[in-house]
Structure 1
């Protein structure tokens, strides 16, 4: 288990406005699991270049949307930076 945390960037209000409650719950579940990975969160998910670090993509609800997260080791934090929901 890791001491890492997660947070929204820029803000929860900005990223979750208008989203269904179930989508927000799923985003928070994924973010919690990423924070539990600690440093390994830098390589989780996908990234177009296939390199560690940078924004990582994670599908939600079987591809009906995705989130982008950034793991920042010096902050020991995973930031949810974007949520795309096509519903």
Structure 2
């Protein structure tokens, strides 16, 4: 189990999740919790493939959207930077 946490990459999480349906927000937070449980391994999850680190993208809800996140080892934190949702 990891000691990592997750947070939105802004003090105002409405900047990232504003206007999204509650179910989408719940799914984003569930995935962020799972990414935090991966710890350092979250640096290789999602796109781009073939390299680790940097801004990563991960599909949500069967490809109806995606989250962009950073895995920052020195902070032991996953930062959710953006949520793109296609209704």
Asked if Structure 1 and Structure 2 have the same fold, meaning a TM-score greater than 0.5 normalized by the shorter chain, the answer is yes
Report deviation, 1:50. Answer: 2.9
How far is the alpha carbon of 1:19 from its aligned partner? 0.2
Unpaired runs of 5+ residues, structure 1, are none
Deviation at 1:13, TM superposition (A): 1.3
Distance in 2 (CA, whole Å) between partners of 1:22 and 1:50 is 31
Report the counterpart of residue 20 of structure 2 in structure 1.
19
Gaps of 5+ in 2: none
Task: Tell me the number of residue pairs that the alignment of Structure 1 and Structure 2 aligns.
Answer: 86
CA RMSD of aligned residues (A): 1.0
Partner SS, residue 57 of structure 2 = strand
1:44 to 2:45 alignment: yes
TM-score relative to the length of structure 2: 0.94
Aligned structure 1 segments of 4 or more residues deviating by more than 3 angstroms:
none
Post-superposition Cα deviations, 1:1-35, rounded to whole Å, max 9, x if no partner, equal 10000000123111111000000000000000000
- 1:4-83 equivalences in 2 (<5 Å): 4-10=4-10, 11-47=12-48, 50-83=50-83
